[in-house]
Amino acid sequence: MAEAVDYKVIGTSPVRPDGVDKVTGRAQYGADMNLPNMIYGKVLRSPHAHARIKSVDLSKALAMPGVYAAVSGADFPQAQHGEIGGEGGGDVADLAKNIMARDKVLYHGHAVAAVAARSVQLAEAALEAIDVSYEPLPPVLDLDAAMAVDATLLDENCFTKNLPEKPDKPSNIAAVMQLARGDVEAGFADADVIVEGEYRIPMAHQGYIEPHACTASVNEGGQATVWCCTQGHFEFRAMASKVLNMNIADLKFIASEIGGGFGGKTVLYLEPLAILLSQKSHRPVKMTMTREEVFRATGPTSGTHCKVKVGAKKDGTLTAATAWLAYEAGAFAGAPMGPGAMSIFAPYRLDNFHIEALDVLVNKPKVAAYRAPGAPQSMHAMECALDDLARELGMDPIDLRMKNAAEEGTQAPYGPKFPAIGFKACLEAAKQHPHYTRPIPEGAGRGVAAGFWFNVGMQSSAEVHINENGTVTVVEGNPDIGGSRASMCLMAAETLGVTYEQVRTLIGDTESTGFSNVTGGSRTTFATGMAVVQACEDIIAQCKARAAATWGVDEDQVEWEDGQAVPAPGVNADVKPLSLADIAANAARTGGPLLGRASLNAQGAGASFAVNIADVKVDRDTGKVDVLSYTAIQDAGKAIHPAYVEGQMQGGAAQGIGWALNEEYIFNTDGVMENAGFLDYRIPVASDLPMIDTQIIEVPNPSHPYGVRGVGETPIVAPLAVIANAVRAATGLRINDLPFSPPRVLEALDNA
């Protein structure tokens, strides 16, 4: 383990630089852009979950006064199959068809046409004037129905990928994935105890409070400017260019402030429609989704059906495990079954395992990333099974996990060996945490579970400008979704040796800074932070050169200390140290403005582990579960801005608790979501939750200059099983399916 390092500004929690604008209402979010001559676009959505489109007639809508443009699938270029990278990526043709249906609608709410008119009200009226003729098809609404031998097919050209031989018949199973090691049969034969479980979790939504919104303005030369709330404006530009067959150089994307995303704003929905409508109307077009549209027509995360089997020796040593993981993809392939499969056993040393995961098409909205995509569902299965195993073995659940915990050198189920990781440190902290050592309140139950996320690196760019007075402007390309500007400022200040207040970070648009992948995968503080640090190092090198020139010494005779150029030890130069401000003031005479830059494809994102603890109480008459107390313990590598790291842990815990207790997509038999609003899609409100205690563990990531691990995703992984295990402790019942809605819990209690 690396030695703890004393930093000057890293590890403090100053007010974020974008904070004042956000508490005064000045900050501009997706729907806040108003332009002269702007008109409003709205989308016509499918009333069927599955149907062939026979015709779309826009003429009556276009004839209405005040309606300036209308488009349908026919107005889009023929989409070519081909992969597009990034978290919101996938097959281009699927992406295009999800944005606007062509021959078929594949879920209730699928976009079929769009109009732009003088007002929202007029645009809505124009939608009613569009004639669409459908041939309804039977909807395929759950995993079992989708995988049945005689299932109705969503896509007649879908042949299951990754099978040893190409299948001769199409299927709703878009892909399978296998991960295996060792001898599972021998492992189970070696076990003293075997537990098995089967768990179903329905589709759930990220539930960001800001609906998707954009404004597009296309000039008569074909150049488009788009303001939108996005987790990655560069990737949005790339996707829009493919979907519209436009030159990437003609597209300028400006990321507004973003009102939450959690993975859901890595995918393009409205922007190509707004661009087309603007092209046709010669006016700026603003489009915003209603909350109902957000639920029906953006990307939630997969509903799943997981089976897990785990064997162990009497002393708790795991001998073998298997998992079968089926994920709903929604209307197009691309469920997060890969990360789900790769994460399920990742926290544990396991010599014998087999995992099979399936990506299954159903007539529901196409899923998108949601915080640690795929992992909460699969790890819920494993962490519940481990809890059952601990009971069978009469072991403390933390001890059981400790006995098998992955550590530095353990080979992850997905291949590589872990470098330094903090799982054991989290388990130790949990075992000693006051929450775990204090008595369980009368009538309550206590649960624990582990969480894990790989974290990713990917591409980032950063520039560092030294202003004339020595203050610092950092420019990078990752929308700030939860305080990342502050983290960039802290890392830049630490590296340059200046104060936090001297640094400002801004998010450049696609024309004013270099390419960066999305804010997602918990990569921003890690990868973009690394680029910022490197750009600052570039500045330092330049400053040393300027000082050397000023002093008439060699560059290697200058060092950078506490934000100043100083002569290296032993260099005999009678000079005053030169601060950043001194060098900046003299820049015109030493070579011009100081501009540092870095671009990279970051490697070595360190996995982040967590252990969470919850106490819950169950009302035996109504089945209602109350969370009495909650503690999240997580390895952050190094917390750059601890308050925002805690915020990630608390927010992820709250989302996970909501998912465990109440959140679910409820579909009727026609495939219509019945709870497409915040009234009945029940995310936690303030009075539902206790204070969420946090403990940040810091086992530095050896691949990052300051030891950073991503922290955004891991927090949502453990809560599902933590709540399930706490309910198990409180009631003595293992309830396998989520959410723990009161009717489900009461039924289980009454049947026991």
Partner 1 sequence: MNKVQVSTSINGEEVEFLCEPQQTLLEVLRETLDKTGTKEGCSTGDCGACSVLLDDRLVCSCLVLGVEAQGSEISTIEGMAGSEGLHPIQQKFLEHAALQCGICTPGLIVATKALLDKNPNPDEETIRYWLAGNLCRCTGYDKIVRAVQDAAKELAHPA
Partner 2 sequence: MGAFAYVAPSNLEEALAVLKEHASAGTRAQLLAGGTDLLVQLRSADKTPRTIVDIKKIAETNRIDIGSEEVYIGSAIPSAVLNENTELAALFPGLLEAADLIGSTQIQGRATVGGNLCNASPAGDSIPAMIAAGGVCVIVGAKGTRELPVEDFLTGVGKNALEPGELLLGLKFKRPGPRTADAYLRFIPRTEMDIAVAGCGVSVTLDQNGTCTAARVAIGAVAPTALLVPAAAEALLGSKLDDDALTAAGAACTAASSPISDKRGTVEYRRKVVAVLCRRAAAIARDRAKG
Nearer to partner 2, 122 or 218 (CB): 122
Contact 206, 309 (CB under 8 A): no
Rule CB under 8 A: say whether 60 interacts with partner 2: no
Among 679, 691, 751, 752, binds partner 2 (CB under 8 A): 679
Q: Is 691 in the site for partner 2 (CB under 8 A)?
A: no
Tokens (6 digits) for 119: 């007002």
- Regarding 408 and contact with partner 2 (CB under 8 A), the answer is no
Q: Which residue has the tokens 């400022």?
A: 489
Residue 137, token pair as written in the block? 């098809």
Please list, residue by residue across 173-187, b when 16 or more beta carbons sit within 10 angstroms of its beta carbon and e when fewer do: bbbbbebebeebeeb
Give the nearer residue to partner 1 in terms of CB position, either 33 or 581: 33
List the structure tokens of 207: 């539930």
453 binds, among partner 2, partner 1, none (CB under 5 to 8 A by kind): none
Map the footprint of partner 2 across residues 618-677, applying CB under 8 A: 621-624, 661-662, 666, 674-675
Pick one of 30, 232, 263, 684: the residue that binds partner 2 (CB under 8 A): 684
Q: Give, in order, the Cα–Cα distances in Å from 243 to each of 45, 77, 107, 239.
A: 19, 7, 20, 6
Long-range residue pairs from 18-21, CB within 8 A, at least 24 positions apart, any chain: 18/257, 18/480, 18/485
741 binds, among partner 2, partner 1, none (CB under 5 to 8 A by kind): partner 2
Q: How far is the CB of 626 from partner 2 (least distance, A)?
A: 8
Closest CA to 610 of 644, 656, 643, 641: 656
Helices 233-244 & 271-281, crossing angle to 10 degrees? 60
> Residue 234: enclosing H or E segment and its boundaries?
helix 233-244
Residue closer to partner 1 by CB (options 295, 332) is 295
Beta carbons within 8 Å of 391's beta carbon, 6+ residues apart? none
66 lies in the binding site for partner 2 (CB under 8 A): no
Least distance to partner 2 from the beta carbon of 219, Å?
33
Q: Does 690 bind partner 2 (CB under 8 A)?
A: no
747 binds, among partner 1, partner 2, none (CB under 5 to 8 A by kind): partner 2
| Cα separations in angstroms, 722 against 63, 325, 357 | 58, 20, 23
Comparing CB distances to partner 1, the nearer of 79 and 254 is: 254
Indicate the residue among 466 and 676 with the shorter CB distance to partner 2: 676
In our burial notation (b when 16+ CB lie closer than 10 A, e otherwise), range 584-614 reads beebeebeeebebbbbbebeebbbbbbbbbb
Site for partner 2 in 119-148 (CB under 8 A): 121, 125
Contact at 8 Å (CB) between 410 and 609? no
In a 3-state reduction of DSSP, which class is residue 722?
Answer: helix
Which residue's CB is nearer to partner 2, number 373 or number 623?
A: 623
CB atoms within 10 A of CB 427: 24
Contact between 3 and partner 2 per CB under 8 A: no
For the CB of residue 214, give the shortest distance to partner 1 in the complex, in Å. 14
Q: What residue 661 binds from partner 2, partner 1, none (CB within 5 to 8 A, per partner kind)?
A: partner 2
Contacted by 567, from partner 1, partner 2, none: CB < 5 to 8 Å by type: none
Does 64 bind partner 2 (CB under 8 A)? Our answer is no
Based on CB atoms, which residue is closest to partner 1, 413 or 482?
Answer: 482
The item of partner 1, partner 2, none sharing an interface with residue 674, based on CB under 5 to 8 Å by kind, is partner 2
Q: Which is nearer to partner 2, 213 or 405 (CB)?
A: 213
Residue 492 partner contact from partner 1, partner 2, none using kind-dependent CB cut-offs of 5 to 8 Å: none
Among partner 2, partner 1, none, what binds residue 26 when CB lies within 5 to 8 Å by partner kind? Answer: partner 1
Residue 737 makes contact with partner 2 by CB under 8 A: no
Question: 22 contacts which partner out of partner 2, partner 1, none, CB within 5 to 8 A by kind?
Answer: partner 1
Residues that bind partner 1 (CB under 8 A): 13, 15-16, 18-20, 22-29, 31-32, 34, 121, 206-211, 257-262, 288, 290-291, 481-483, 641, 643-644, 646-648, 650-655, 677-679, 683-689, 691-692
b vs e for 56-93, b when ≥16 Cβ sit within 10 Å of the residue's Cβ? bebeebbebeebbbbbbbebbeebeeeebebbbbbbbb
Does residue 752 touch partner 2 according to CB under 8 A? Answer: no
∠ Cα 436 639 475 (to 5°): 150
Interaction of residue 731 with partner 2, rule CB under 8 A: no
- Which residues are paired to 305 by β-bridges? 200, 326
User: What is the spatial distance between Cα 206 and Cα 200, in angstroms, rounded to a whole number?
Assistant: 18
Residues that contact partner 2, how many (by CB under 8 A): 25
Distance separating alpha carbons of residues 408 and 700, to the nearest angstrom: 12
Closer residue to partner 1, CB minimum distance, 387 or 663? 663
In the complex with partner 1, which residue's Cβ is closer, 197 or 739?
739
- Which residue is associated with the tokens 């329905």? 202
Site for partner 2 contains 742 (CB under 8 A): yes
User: Taking the CB of residue 433, how many other CB atoms lie within 10 A of it?
Assistant: 17
What residues have CB less than 8 Å from 111, skipping those under 6 apart? 43, 44, 45, 46, 99, 100, 101, 269, 273, 297
**Chain contacts with partner 2 (rule: CB under 8 A):** 121, 125, 621-624, 661-662, 666, 674-675, 678-680, 682, 684-685, 687-688, 741-743, 746-747, 750
